[in-house]
Amino acid sequence: MSKARVMCVKDGKRMELYNGRPENIEGRLPREIRTYDFLDKLGIEYLRTDHEPANNMEACNEIEDMEFNREGITERQKRITGNA
C-alpha cells in the first residue's frame, strides 16, 4: 500500500509522499507502528513521508515547506489551513 503518490525536489532534496503504512516496518519506532495500526483500525486514509531527523525548528519548517504539487493535496492543505 506504500506506493509513492508525489515526489518533490527542492534545493536538491527529494521527498516522496506515500499512501499508508510502509511496506517494511523494520527499524521503525514502536510508537510509529502503533500510530499506523490505530489509523488503519479506524479506516482512516493517510499520507506520510520519510525524511532525515529534524532536530530543530528550522529543519521542521524546511520539511513542512516542501510543496507536494498535486491538486488534491494542495486543495486539502488550503482547507486545513483556512487559506482556500
Q: Which three cell numbers stand for residue 11?
A: 534545493
Which residue spans within the chain are E strands per DSSP? Answer: 4-10, 13-19, 47-49
Beta bridge pairs of residue 49: 17
CA dist 53 and 43 (Å) reads: 28
Say if residues 19 and 5 touch (Cβ distance below 8 Å): yes
Q: Per residue in 47-79, pLDDT tens?
A: 888 877 888 898 887 777 765 544 445 555 555
pTM score above 0.75: no
Per-residue pLDDT, averaged over 6-21, amounts to 74
Residue partners of 73: CB distance under 8 A and separation at least 6: 5, 6, 17, 47
